[in-house]
Structure 1
Amino acid sequence: MTEVPAAPAAKVVPALRPPRQPQEQAQSEFDAFYRREMPKVTVFLVNLGASVYEAADAAHEAFLTLLPDKWRDLEHPRAWLRTVAYRKYLRQTTTRTQPMDPVPDRPGGTCPVDLVLLTEQQKSVLDALGQLPPAEREAMAWKLDGFNHEQTAQALGKSPAAVRQAYMRARQRLITTLGLKKEAESGE
């Protein structure tokens, strides 16, 4: 009888950490997306006229509809999120004007979000944004949030030319309203 040679000993490689499961990785990526985009969406909604409380509430509601397994399938998740958050904001303003839930350890049930401190300049800009017609305010809010005219047009279902025109009108009105034209002319 012929002897069968023994198989070579397998190398033992210690595993430092088991590979991440796809679901864990998706959740981790979603968490990072949430941390990065939540404050931006809130500011976006404030620029569109929401109070800080309303903006945070609508942004949270929008994120609830964007489940960790769904957001990766969207072609433009940032734009989608802002569109949904804005719709959530518009729906909530017809149902209430002030937060109804009391906050523990605060006299009178005030919301600590109302205590957000804005500089005088930020208040002036928000007031000026509030004076813009809706289409102009919308175009300016998207621009302030870092979207170009084409991206904004796609998200809003408008033509890039219409968005560009609304933005230019908004910009001109803001310059006039905030008195920036006088400062720019006197500085020359």
Structure 2
Amino acid sequence: MLEKLRKLANILYWAATAVLIALPIAALGYLLAETPNPNRASALFPHIDIIASPTGLAFWSAFSAGALSFLLFIGFLWSLRGLFDFYRKGQILTLHAAGAILRLGKWLIALALVRFMTLPTQTLLLTSNNPDGHRQLAISISDHEVGFLLAAGLLTLIGWAMNEAVRISDENKAFV
């Protein structure tokens, strides 16, 4: 059974590595092909009713809010790849693996909170130049966000529980 786990972890490790390489390249390719600018804000943010082009500061602040989510996702993938690396090396019930799971939960909590705040921030910034009566502040909570946050909490809880279990196991081994 351990060998199957190590093989699957190896496949997932390389898949995570490929995604970590492909995502930044794709993002850079998109930015080079479609240079973001305030005059094209409605093309970049089609879900927001932008009537008048936002100021440069508002546009780049809204763009940065989305980029922060992207960077947090990259951090999550990096930690996930680290967990797969521990597992493929057979380090399953260790403090390193438990710590990696705990970090994954924390990355997901940060990502969930930032994603929750991104839409209100972007709509507020990008519609600030709209005429009176056409400015927006959109707040959205769906089952996806709630489920995402609960899964992040679960992963954090499992990480803490595994940390405690490994610590107790190490104490018992030292005692005997």
Structure with larger Rg: 1
Using structure 2 for the length normalisation, give the TM-score.
0.33
Q: In proportion to residue count, which structure has more helix? A: 2
**TM-score (normalised: structure 1):** 0.31
- Higher RCO, 1 vs 2 (CA within 8 Å, ≥6 residues apart): 2
